[in-house]
Amino acid sequence: MCGKVMTAKSWWIVSAALLGVAGLVAAGWKANSGELPGLRPDGSVKIPNGWTINKVGKLIDLPGDFPQDVAFLKDGRHALVNTAGFNDHTLNLIDLQTGQIAQTITVPTAWIGLDASNESEILLSAGQPKSGEMIHRFTYDSGKLNSAKPWSDETTAANDRFISSIVRTKDRIYALNIQTDELITLDHDWTILRKNRLRYRPYALALSPDGEQLAISNWGDKSVSIYETKTMSMLKYAEVGPLPSSLQYAKDGRLFVTVSGSDYVAVLDKNKQVTKVNVGFGLSQPVGSSPVALSISRDGSRLYVANAGNNAVAVLDISKSNPTLTGHIPTDRYPTLVKETPDGKRLVIGTAKGEYGPNAGAKVDTTVKGVRGQQYNIPYRYISTMLKGRLSVVDKPTSSQLSAYTKIAQAGALARKKEADDLLVKQKTVMDAMKSIKHVIYVIRENRTYDQVFGDMKQGNGDPTLCLFGEDVTPNSHQLAKDFILFDNFYADGECSQCGHQWTDAAYANDYCEKQWVLGYSRRSQIRSDLRLTSSPGEYIWTQARKQGLKARVYGEYVDVQEDHDSLNSAEIKADPEKYG
């Protein structure tokens, strides 16, 4: 990858910088201790990236993955949860008393928006289905959901329709079209009253307590816009940080925003001044907590934040003007929603991924949904079909319980941090070994597991039944493994190529990447993007190298142009395509 001699010292700095991220956000993990991923005797789960999952609460398995939001119905007993991942996109009626799913309605596509404030017309964003609808509509009557006629804006081209967030007020319906960067204002008869042009890729909406202000997080613009609802004129524009997502007003008028490409929540006070509160584990990582969703407690004293990258919910005391982090609640893998129940006694936490794996090897149950490759007589379970969305219903913790939860939540990451610290202790040994190294070549091969290529090597912990491209097909790779190192049981984050490249190059996959690959790989439409959404808010390995005065030559991997929808269409790149490879 590099075009200049790297001294031991300079390359170590680059390596350590990358490992500093990888060690804490789990870009890669070597099972040095001999412990392999999987279920432990104490009920915890060691996942492939080296973190430990310790779930709490009563678990409810969902029929789809990546739950997006939860809305509580007026009876206080039932809730609605929408899923919009790789598997079925669904709207689920949950009985919180029994912990059971009472009903599931499957839709072609959905996304984050869900509004159940009017149970005679429940609204769900439709993503971008081929049939063209923009908002799914349902009724709820006598304990049952019923589908109603969906709504679409026929003045918008079908490939420009993608509703993200929806909010109903006493006389208006507000919907964000993230594909066209527009806010659509409708009356309750579904007549379009006006459209406002917004910043790049508006994500979520929040109405102020007095109903006079409407806040919008601009996912691809690092900003929040606040509009006056009577005139729909913009009152305030504030930059808050990379990939702002969920947002909610407190009773006192403060606006809280998750900045998902960071480790913090942004707070806009009544004067619209921005402060930032770190909600991570305090491990000094450049980026990695990924706060993607938030909600405020019924009494207004607590803020709950779903830290997708930490497998935890952060709890903040917001009763005073300066919010303080008080602890974390451990969750299943990759939390994406959190809300307090109407009685204020419990939390509903949604998680996106579950503890998928291991691969079934040669003994694949072909009756299970999602099995592929049968036409080639090599059936296998595709990793995306293993994603499991879940809800956890947790009693709201007391101070002492939260303290105990915090230790559990952080333990999974601290074990990973200790491995990184142990590596740094060996710095002198590594530097001495690198004195003879002049060039470093970083070879990236995608779409292949260890077993598919090296499963036939008896020196490693492999499964030969999964080996598709053994030494007879890949002699060069096998010779490199014999001459240098095999790296069996070296695990990388990222379920597919789209996020796998980000983990490989930057030790981090951002909120956009995680939410979009499941749509694209399931043959659903994605939100069109450019660098503002696709690039990592952290560093790439070549940018780290260049910061150390080294040369990094990249052949075909992400550089100044990401593998996105729009970057290659820019006038600059079209004028000189060779410059960008």
Tokens in use for 467?
A: 């080996």
Average pLDDT over residues 336-351: 98
**What contacts 42, CB < 8 A, 6 or more positions away?**
none
Domain residue extents for the chain: 8-40+416-580, 62-197
Q: What is the pLDDT of residue 22?
A: 33
Beta bridge partners of 233: 228
Position with higher pLDDT, 210 vs 569: 210
| Beta carbons within 8 Å of 340's beta carbon, 6+ residues apart | 295, 297, 298, 302, 304, 346, 347, 348, 396
CATH class of the 62-197 domain in this structure = mainly beta
More confident residue, 38 or 206: 206
Residue pointed to by tokens 């507000």 = 174
Give the integer Cα–Cα distance in Å for 464 and 493.
23
Q: What are phi and psi of 9, to 5 degrees?
A: -65, -50
Q: In what order do the strands lie in the sheet with 302-307?
A: 291-296, 302-307, 312-317, 324-330
Identify the helix (H) or strand (E) that includes residue 543: helix 541-547
Euclidean distance between CA atoms 261 and 85, whole angstroms: 20
- Of 5, 2, 13, 1, the closest CA to residue 430 belongs to 13
Q: Is the pLDDT of residue 30 over 70?
A: no
Question: Per-residue pLDDT for 29 more than 80?
Answer: no
Whether residue 423 is predicted with pLDDT greater than 50 in this model: the reply is yes
**Is the per-residue pLDDT at 73 higher than 60?**
yes
- The residue-averaged pLDDT of 394-412 equals 95
Q: What pLDDT was estimated at residue 580?
A: 45
Per-residue model confidence as pLDDT tens digits over 187-233: 999 999 999 999 999 999 999 999 999 999 999 999 999 999 999 99
Mean pLDDT within 394-420? 86
Query: Residue 379 pLDDT > 80, yes or no?
Result: no
- Statement: residue 257 has pLDDT above 80: yes
pLDDT score at 556: 77
Least confident of 33-37, 248-252, 386-390, 529-533: 33-37
Helices (H), 367-496: 399-425, 427-434, 450-454, 475-483
Q: SS3 helix, strand, coil % of the chain, rounded to 5? A: 20, 30, 45
Task: Say if residue 113's pLDDT is above 80.
Answer: yes
Q: Residues 459-498: pLDDT tens digits? A: 999 989 889 899 999 999 999 999 988 888 887 788 888 8
pLDDT at residue 27, as a whole number: 46
Provide mean pLDDT across the span 354-363. Answer: 73
Q: What φ, ψ does residue 306 adopt, rounded to 5°?
A: -85, 105
**Which range, 227-236, 427-436, 572-581, is most confident?**
227-236
| Percent of the chain at pLDDT exceeding 90 | 62
Residue 543, pLDDT score: 86
What local confidence, expressed as pLDDT, does residue 36 receive? Answer: 82
pLDDT in tens, 266-304: 999 988 899 999 999 987 666 889 999 999 999 999 999
Instruction: Check residue 23 and give its pLDDT.
Output: 33
Among 175-189, 354-368, 385-399, whose mean pLDDT is lowest? 354-368
Statement: residue 35 has pLDDT above 90:
no
pLDDT at 410 over 80: yes
pLDDT of residue 7: 30
Distance set, CA 37 to CA 317, 334, 359, 507, 566 (Å)? 35, 17, 12, 20, 38
Confidence band for 9, pLDDT divided at 50, 70 and 90: very low
CA 148, distance to chain mean position in Å, is 31
pLDDT at 67 over 80: yes
**Residue 34 pLDDT exceeds 80:** no
Residue 207 DSSP one-character state: E
Residue 518's pLDDT is what? 96
Question: Locate tokens 């001459």: which residue?
Answer: 483
For residue 394, name the pLDDT band (cuts at 50, 70, 90).
very high
- Which residues are within 8 A (CB) of 260 and not within 5 positions of it... i.e. 6 or more apart? 242, 243, 244, 245, 290, 291, 292, 308, 510, 511
Q: Strand pairing of 135-141 and 122-125?
A: antiparallel
Element (H, E) at 486: none
Alpha helices for 356-398 (secondary structure H): none
* pLDDT of 342 above 70: yes
- What is the rounded distance in angstroms from the CA atom of residue 121 to the CA atom of residue 117? 8
What rounded mean pLDDT belongs to the chain?
88
Residue 548: pLDDT over 90:
no
